[in-house]
Structures are given as structure tokens and as C-alpha cells.
Amino acid sequence: MKTNIHSIERVVRVLGGAAIVSLAFIGPQTPWAWLGLIPMATGLSGWCPPYAILGISTCKTQTEGS
């Protein structure tokens, strides 16, 4: 699995996912809040399966000779 998520996007995913998961404890306490684990997992791993399937990468590419 090759990293396909930029570092800034990774931070946003982890923080956003944590905010969504926190709703399971302090918000409306709905089981749907556990879906926040998905962006947290992709942010922590740096790999997004839908990006891989679609051939998308938000990482900067290295040019030859650099």
C-alpha cells in the first residue's frame, strides 16, 4: 500500500474523525458516530482505498533529478 494522502489531509482526517467519534460519547450518542473511525484510520495509515481504486493521490510527486 503506497501512501496516497497528503500530510495536511491526513491531519484533517484524523481530527475530523475524532470529532465525529466524540459524538458517540458527548453528543446525541448515536451509533452512527462510530463511522468517524473510517477517516481516522485512513488518516493514520496514509492510504485511502477509494483514492487507490480511482487512481487519485494528493501527495506531492517527486520529479526526476530532485
Query: How high is the pLDDT of residue 62?
Result: 52
Tell me how many domains the chain contains: 1
Provide the CA 59 distance to its chain's centre, in angstroms: 13
13 domain residue, yes or no: yes
Query: How high is the pLDDT of residue 6?
Result: 95
Q: Any idea of the CA torsion for 41, 47, 50, 53, to the nearest 10 degrees? A: -150
Q: How many CB atoms lie within 10 A of CB 55?
A: 7
**Per-residue CA distances from 51 to 22, 30, 43, 63 (Å):** 26, 28, 13, 21
59 domain residue, yes or no: no
CB 59 within 8 A of CB 8: no
Query: How high is the pLDDT of residue 1?
Result: 83
Structural domain for 37, as ranges? 7-54
Query: How high is the pLDDT of residue 66?
Result: 44
pTM of the model: 0.84
pLDDT, one tens digit for every residue, the chain (66 residues) = 889 999 999 999 999 999 999 999 998 899 999 999 999 999 999 999 999 999 999 998 755 444
